[in-house]
Structure 1
Amino acid sequence: MTKLMLDRANKKIWGVCSGLAKWTGMDVTVIRVIFVLATLFGFGSALLIYVALGLILD
């Protein structure tokens, strides 16, 4: 596995989802749908995780 990083070439907002997709080997659309559903059904906790990853990752 590679290092978990933001993917600035394939980003929509910060590149967190595309970085996670590259790191896990999954499709970026699947990761984005998971984040949207988790934000809607998890009362925004996934949004906080997204912001934290955007600030922490390189």
Structure 2
Amino acid sequence: MSRKLVRPREGRMFAGVCAGLAQRFGMSAGMIRLLFLLSLLLPGTQVIVYLVLWILMPNEDRVRY
């Protein structure tokens, strides 16, 4: 299990941001996705944060261990 913040090749639904966060923090990807969807009900910049993470998080195959 990788402890780096990367977007994995396996388990992606859209961009892999939620799967990468789940992998990094030892949670299930479904739980992270549910939390993200619930957070959309609150005012804030959740979508912008998601897009920034999508840009900044490297793909798993581009990271050298």
Q: TM-score range by the shorter chain?
A: 0.7 to 0.9
Pair 1:47-2:47 in alignment: yes
Matches of 2:43 and 2:9, distance apart in 1: 27
Moved over 3 A (4+): none
Aligned residues between the structures: 57
Identity over the aligned pairs, expressed in percent?
32
Bigger proportion of residues as helix: 1
Unaligned runs of 5+ in 2: 59-65
Aligned to 1:20: 21
Max Rg structure: 2
What's the TM-score, normalizing by structure 2?
0.78
RCO (CA 8 Å, sep 6+): is it higher in 1 or 2?
2
C-alpha RMSD of the superposition: 1.4
* Structure 1 alignment gaps of length 5 or more: none
CA contact (8 A) 1:16 1:53 kept: yes
